[in-house]
Structure formats: structure tokens, C-alpha cells
Amino acid sequence: MSEAAPKNVARFLDWDTRFFGVRIATIECKAIGAADWRAQLERCRAERIQCLYVLMDAEDRTSARSTELEKAEPLDLRVSFERATLPLPEPGSTRARLRLARPEDTPVLSALARISHADSRFWKDSRFARERCAELYATWIERSIGGWAQAVFVAELDSAPVGYLSCNVRESDCVEMALMAVVENLRGEGIGRALTERAIVWAAELSLPYVRVVTQGKNGAATRLYDRFGFRIVRSQCWHHLWFEQA
């Protein structure tokens, strides 16, 4: 399978395959019919794919009917938010100090990542080992500090990192907020708000007109945070995982 593919065409995922130790592909469906869906399944079988990530719009009933025929398991609602960078939000208050991540932060932040993202679709899929799901997010933040992300902002309290937010520049017009976590006993103290505000200010510093973020539909705390900052929902999608002995 090619590394780049249009909608309704399965794409092999080399990194996920190496990380989880099973052959994985992904497909983004757009009104895919049953015949085209089965053709992609046959293509995956020919490539010895073991797990297929399936992403479709929440209102795409055509794709939903097609994938249900093959028992693709619904695991997550992926909600995309967007706001204009300007006007900047009113500064909030927090005891934490914000700064860019440093290499020496990596052990503390990777330990936080291991325990902070258990609401993701990977954790919900019992076929993935729990320790690998935890390690996925530890690896994500480690590599983000190492250059995967254009910026990783750290919240620091009493000289110790207590939260992080990784950010990327996407499509030359926006800052995309990616991975965020705050230590559990400090949630609700304005740290997540401060990190979000920093991402918006960073977008303004780069003269980028939009800030975007994706979260799980059931993540009420994140949804409420983004609503307070004036983000609006621009897209809702469903993630499914199909394991091929089911098909």
C-alpha cells in the first residue's frame, strides 16, 4: 500500500505496525458503498493487514452501513474544534509558570503521559496491550520534545513540570493543539486554561489566523475548556477498529 492515499483507500501505517507489532492500516471513509468497502477489505487481506483503523464522519450513514456489515467496532467520537486566533482571550490566573520544554523534562513528562490518556481509542481496544497503549503516549511526548512538534509548552510549579501541551503548525494557516495533560491533583486550577491560552498567543505570534484541536467526544472537561475559549465544533467523526479475523 502507498504511504499517501485518497479517501476510501486503505493506507499502510508503518510506524503503528512497528510500535504495536501487528500489521496496521487506516482508511478515511467518505460515503463508501458496500462494494468499494469489500474491495478495500480484500486489498487489506492481500497485504496481510491485521487491524484496520476506520474513520468516518458521524453523519455518514452510507459508510456506517457498509462498515457494520463487516463488524468494525466503534471506539471513539473524534470532535474537531476551531477558533479564530484573534481577538486574544483575557489572561487567566494560575500558580504555574509556563515555558518551552527542555530535554531534561522528558522523564517527568513521559511518566505523566503514560497515565494521562486512558480515554483514547487505543485504550478502549482490548486487543492492544495496556503497557503499549501507555508507552504510545510516552513516546509521543518524548518525540514531540525531540522535534516532532514545533513547540511543547510546559507548566511548571515549584520548579517541577506539572503539565504539557504539544503544538504543531498545520496547513500554513493554523496552530494545532495536539497532546495535553496536567497532573491529576492540580486539575481544575487553571493550568489547562493557561496552556490553551499560550497556544492561542503563539498562533498570534506566528500570524496564523486559526487554532484547532481534536478531542474525544466523551472528554467533557476538554469540551468545556474549549467552549470557554470560544472554540466551535467544525467536524465530528467516528473511529472504528476492524480486526481481520472478525471480517
Q: What is d(CA 212, CA 233) in angstroms, rounded to the nearest whole number?
A: 10
Q: What is the pLDDT of residue 5?
A: 60
Statement to judge: residues 39 and 101 lie in one domain: no
- Decide if 178 contacts 190 (C-beta within 8 A): no
Residue of 52, 71, 46, 47 lying closest to 8 (CA atoms): 52
Statement to judge: residues 52 and 105 lie in one domain: no
Statement to judge: residues 123 and 61 lie in one domain: no
Question: Is residue 5 included in any domain, yes or no?
Answer: no
Q: What is the pLDDT of residue 192?
A: 97
Statement to judge: residues 58 and 117 lie in one domain: no
Statement to judge: residues 93 and 52 lie in one domain: no
Q: Which of 43, 70, 97 is the last residue of a domain?
A: 70
Instruction: Kindly give the confidence (pLDDT) of every residue in the chain, 247 residues in length, as a single tens digit, with 9 standing for 90 and above.
Output: 434 467 999 999 999 999 999 999 999 999 999 999 999 999 999 999 999 999 999 999 999 998 887 778 889 999 999 999 999 999 988 999 999 999 999 999 999 999 999 999 999 999 999 999 999 999 999 999 999 999 999 999 999 999 999 999 997 899 999 999 999 999 999 999 999 999 999 999 999 999 999 999 989 999 999 999 999 999 999 999 999 985 5
User: Cβ neighbours of residue 23 under 8 Å, at least 6 residues apart?
Assistant: 12, 17, 47, 48, 49, 50, 51
Statement to judge: residues 66 and 98 lie in one domain: no
Q: Give the amino acid at 153.
A: F
Q: What is the pLDDT of residue 2?
A: 38
Helix (H) or strand (E) holding 97: strand 97-100
Q: What is the pLDDT of residue 1?
A: 40
Number of domains in the chain: 2
Backbone angles phi, psi at 205, to 5 degrees: -60, -30
Q: What is d(CA 72, CA 240) in angstroms, rounded to the nearest whole number?
A: 6
Q: What is the pLDDT of residue 246?
A: 59
Q: What is the pLDDT of residue 247?
A: 52
Statement to judge: residues 49 and 170 lie in one domain: no
Q: What is the pLDDT of residue 199?
A: 98
Strand duo 151-157 + 160-170: pairing: antiparallel
Question: Is residue 147 included in any domain, yes or no?
Answer: yes
Statement to judge: residues 140 and 194 lie in one domain: yes
Structural domain span for residue 153:
83-234
Q: What is the pLDDT of residue 131?
A: 97
Q: What is d(CA 134, CA 181) in angstroms, rounded to the nearest whole number?
A: 13
